[in-house]
Amino acid sequence: MNNTISIGDIYFPDMYALPDSPNQHCPQAEKGCPASHEQLHGWLEVMRRKSDFSQPVAVFDFDGTCIFNDIGKAVFEFQLDRFLFRHTVESFSGLFPECEPTTDGLPWTEIHRQLICLYRELSSLTSKRIPAISVLRPAWKEFKVLFLWYVDRARKDPQLGPEYILTLLTRLLAGYSVAEVKRITAQALQKAQKKPVGEITYSKRFPPPVGTVSVTTQQGIRVFPEMVDLMTALKKSGIRCFIISASTQWVVEHGLEYLGFPVEREDVYGIRVKLDEQGVLKTCLADDYPITYRKGKRLVLENLVSGTPVLVAGDAETDYEMLTMTFPVRLIIDHGRTGLIRELINTPGYLVQEMDRKKGAFRSSGEQPPIPSVVIAAILKNLLQSVQLAS
């Protein structure tokens, strides 16, 4: 079954304007013809009469769902480019677990040792308050390429895996205050938005047993203006919007603010570590709080999000458990991935918005109205249908 959003089937011709304060950091935003706020508000009023929908909320993933590419990786690459780390050699070493070699022969212990040795050399310069010199040293290029490669490969490794890497990216910010993370995030986004959308490959040769490593990364952050429109429409109709992300809590908080998404900080849930009395990030994970990846996202939605979800949106297997919960509207942003997310895309009951990965934007049919209207119109149609089903 083809669940892809179709303009002809679900377009509502009503017009409305973009938010009063358009996102200054979203140069590709353009006026669309989204569905009427009045119709959405009318749906909400009907649902409010039903006790189960007294406090409707919408829940979104962030990376790949609200923006093209990954804010956590953008901050990580920005840290690498400027060697922005405040770990001692000892605390940096503690980030890497003991691992057996992989089935294809990757010597994790030796790779960890190489990273620690390179960090020791580079941090000896930054400790003398001359960080600019660090990125001029041959060791810096080796450190950057090896670390990028490590994060990519370790995420796919059964011994390490996504949860380890996602928490590692957060723990690498240890030593910075929340306010400093805000500045780093803004600078990283400013740089990432200037880059063209595409891939870049890094390669470097290391002594045996590591050998030559090569890694291809995605570059270029782009805001999906359709999602800003959607959140704005929902918010104006009294539907509170939440973000549940597998990126760092404070990076996502400040990223949302910088990019102009209408989401309150207290409604953001990301990877969290403990803070000291001065608001400085530590390396240990927060107590009594799940890792916001797959099942952890569902735990947050079930236990921490206040209200009744009427919409959930995601784009990847990291959102699988959240997307398989029963809500009136389940929206998937289709990046062309295979696996579990493809099974959901091919399952009846999901709205699907296709991506143009070459442009980092939602795919349009080339017809009028512009694609921003289609997302809201499709969601509105499902919400209106849910009223009939609940009546």
Q: What is the CATH number of the domain that holds 381?
A: 3.40.50.1000
pLDDT at 5: 43
Per-residue pLDDT, averaged over 265-289, amounts to: 97
pLDDT of residue 38: 56
- Which residue segment(s) compose the domain that 230 sits in? 7-69+223-390
Look at residue 367 and tell me whether its pLDDT is greater than 70. no
**Domain termination residue (choose one: 165, 189, 219):** 219
My answer on whether 62 and 95 are in the same domain is no
Asked if 241 and 384 sit in the same domain, the reply is yes
Q: Is residue 372 over pLDDT 50?
A: no
* 2 inside domain: no
At 106 the pLDDT is 77
User: Is residue 1 assigned to a domain?
Assistant: no
Name the percent of the chain lying above pLDDT 90: 61
Q: Convert the pLDDT of each residue in 36-63 to its tens digit.
A: 455 555 666 666 566 566 688 999 999 9
The 10 Å CB-count burial string (b at 16+, else e) for 327-361 is: bbbbbbbbeeeeebbeebbeeeebbbbbbebeebb
Lowest mean pLDDT, pick from 1-15, 79-93, 151-165: 1-15
Per-residue pLDDT averaged across 174-183, rounded?
A: 97
| 327 and 288 inside one domain | yes
In this prediction, residue 30 has a pLDDT band, given cuts at 50, 70 and 90, of: very low
- Do 34 and 88 reside in the same domain of the chain? no
Query: Which domain-ending residue is among 219, 234, 253?
Result: 219
Average pLDDT over all residues of the chain: 83
> pLDDT tens-digit profile of 312-365?
999 999 999 999 999 888 899 999 999 999 999 999 888 888 889 999 998 864
Residue with tokens 């950091």: 25
Same domain for 191 and 294, yes or no, is no
Picking from 28-42, 148-162, 218-232, which range would have the lowest pLDDT averaged per residue? 28-42
Mean pLDDT calculated for residue range 110-116: 95
What is the number of domains present in the chain?
2
Q: Do 76 and 47 share a structural domain? A: no
Do 288 and 334 lie in one domain? The reply is: yes
Whether 137 shows a pLDDT value over 50: the answer reads yes
Residues 167 and 203 in one domain: yes
Q: Domain containing 118 — which CATH number?
A: 1.20.1440.320
| Domain final residue pick, 194, 219, 244 | 219
Residue found under tokens 């070493």: 93
Residues 354 and 233 in one domain: yes
The per-residue pLDDT for range 207-258, each reduced to its tens digit, is 888 889 999 999 999 999 989 988 988 888 788 999 999 999 999 999 999 9
Which pLDDT score, from 0 to 100, does residue 366 have? 47
Q: Supply the pLDDT for residue 104.
A: 64
Average pLDDT over residues 270-284: 97
Q: Are residues 64 and 78 in the same domain?
A: no
Q: Is the pLDDT score of 387 beyond 70?
A: no
Mean per-residue pLDDT, 274-287: 97
Instruction: Count CB-CB contacts under 10 A for residue 265.
Output: 13
**pLDDT for the residue numbered 333:** 93
Residue 1 has pLDDT above 50, yes or no: no
The reply to whether 135 falls in a domain is: yes
Read off the pLDDT of each residue in 266-274 and give the average, rounded to a whole number: 98
pLDDT at 112 over 50: yes
What average pLDDT score do residues 166-177 get?
Answer: 98
266 and 364 co-located in one domain: yes
pLDDT for residue 390 is more than 80: no
Please check whether residues 49 and 172 belong to one and the same domain. Answer: no
Instruction: Answer yes or no: is 30 within a domain.
Output: yes
Q: Is residue 19 part of a domain?
A: yes
- Is the per-residue pLDDT at 371 higher than 50? no
**pLDDT, greater one: 159 or 79:** 79
* Residues 315 and 65: beta-carbon distance below 8 Å: yes
Q: What percent of the chain has pLDDT over 70?
A: 76
